[in-house]
Amino acid sequence: MVTKSLHKRESDLANSNRQLEILSNGIFQNGELPTFKAKIAETNQFPLKAKKLEILQINVGYMCNQVCEHCHVDAGPDRKEIMTRETMQQCLVVIKNTGAHTLDLTGGAPEMNPDFRWFVEEAAKAGIKDFIVRSNLTIIRANKKYYDLPEFFKKHNVHVVSSMPHWTRGKTDKQRGDGVFDKSIKALQELNAIGYGMPNSGLKLDLVYNPSGAFLPGDQMSMEKDFKKALLEDFNIQFHNLFAITNLPISRFLDYLIASENYEDYMYSLVEAYNPAAVSNVMCTNTLSVSWDGYLYDCDFNQMLELPVNSKSKHISEFNEDLLEGRKIVISQHCYGCTAGAGSSCQGVVA
């Protein structure tokens, strides 16, 4: 089980250039597999361009109480990158003025940012239609100071989106750490108890599934049925939707693929499962990602690869929605993860 981030371990892969080198060399350099650019050009979809902004996703820091094996953020207790209140204030100016209908707070564990509650309170006042917080669930049980998070979320009508890789203890703990399953179940029961995830409840609770190994997720609808049945029968837990997400070959998942000698096979699976119909709806076409230090990226994955937006508007302090619309999306081979099968995004399938 992983216990430290790649950064703390001073791994080669903590360096985003090294990750990009791996993704560009080998099977993609020698022509065994087509690059993502060549693949989308086959259907005249290159360059991929941003449409109207709909979702603003803000990463408030890479600190997390967990160190999951697959984490694309390389998050963990040892990561100290945290959004300051000053940068949050710059974000609030944008939140109040943007035409985006969804605000999506992520991390790390976003709740660990010391200004998290202040930020949620201020952002909620902007009255944005869908206000998502991505919670790993265990944070709710990690320390007394987080025990009231369900009530806090309810008070601000936050839409909770939580990771839950499986309905069994073994598979969940293998990917996310010992004890994660039991704490997640407890947290879900607490959220249910105040109305989250209940049928017809306006308090939205969605779960996120991602595979625990070098394989692609199954059909989202049938997995949702299986999750709902098992969680209800075993723990009396209810939730609204399940999002099935493909693991992208970056950061700790790339490290896992290389260490388990699955990298090439996984890239082959992604390319074989390429679905041209998913390209026009990949999340970078309607989403913008803001990093803990305020820089703008096409998505959270590009943020971790340190591939900034291709626009003159590069920082939240100089945010210009008109300039950002129509920008050319920065792509590399990791993008195959978003176009495999039914496609994948933070909101689940896209095609």
HSE-CB of 27 using CA atoms within 13 angstroms: 15
List binders of ligand SF4 among 143-202 (CB under 6 A). 163, 176
| Bridge-based pairing state of the strands 287-290 and 296-297 | antiparallel
| Residues 6+ away with beta carbon under 8 Å from 222 | none
Minimum CB distance to ligand SF4, residue 346 (Å): 9
For the sheet containing 287-290, what is the strand order?
Answer: 242-244, 205-209, 159-163, 130-135, 102-106, 55-59, 287-290, 296-297
Minimum CB distance to ligand SF4, residue 122 (Å): 23
Nearer to ligand SF4, 42 or 233 (CB): 42
- Residue 282 as a binder of ligand SF4 (CB under 6 A): the answer is yes
List binders of ligand SF4 among 130-149 (CB under 6 A). 136
CA separation for the pair 316, 93 (Å, rounded): 9
Q: Which of 208, 299, 304, 342 binds ligand SF4 (CB under 6 A)?
A: 299
Nearer to ligand SF4, 176 or 204 (CB): 176
Nearer to ligand SF4, 127 or 331 (CB): 331
- Residue 296 as a binder of ligand SF4 (CB under 6 A): the answer is no
Nearer to ligand SF4, 190 or 298 (CB): 298
- Residue 329 as a binder of ligand SF4 (CB under 6 A): the answer is yes
192: its two tokens: 């249910």
- Residue 163's SS3 state is strand
Of 24-32, 200-208, 259-267, 282-290, the segment contacting ligand SF4 by CB under 6 A is 282-290
Within 10 angstroms of residue 46's Cβ, the number of other Cβ atoms is 17
| Residues 6+ away with beta carbon under 8 Å from 123 | 91, 92, 95, 103, 105, 131
Q: Which of 131, 167, 301, 319 binds ligand SF4 (CB under 6 A)?
A: 301
- Residue 130's SS3 state is strand
| Binding map of ligand SF4 across residues 73-112, x = CB under 6 A, - = no contact | x-xx------------------------------xxx---
Minimum CB distance to ligand SF4, residue 342 (Å): 14
Annotate 270-289 with DSSP letters as a single string.
HHHTB-HHHHTT-GGGTEEE
Phi, psi (degrees; rounded to nearest 5) at 297 = -135, 160
Query: 198: phi > 0 → left, psi -120 to 50 → alpha, else beta; which?
Result: beta
Nearer to ligand SF4, 108 or 200 (CB): 108
| Binding map of ligand SF4 across residues 23-62, x = CB under 6 A, - = no contact | ----------------------------------------
For binding to ligand SF4 (CB under 6 A), which residues are involved? 64, 66-68, 71, 73, 75-76, 107-109, 136, 163, 176, 282-284, 298-299, 301-302, 329, 331, 334-335, 338
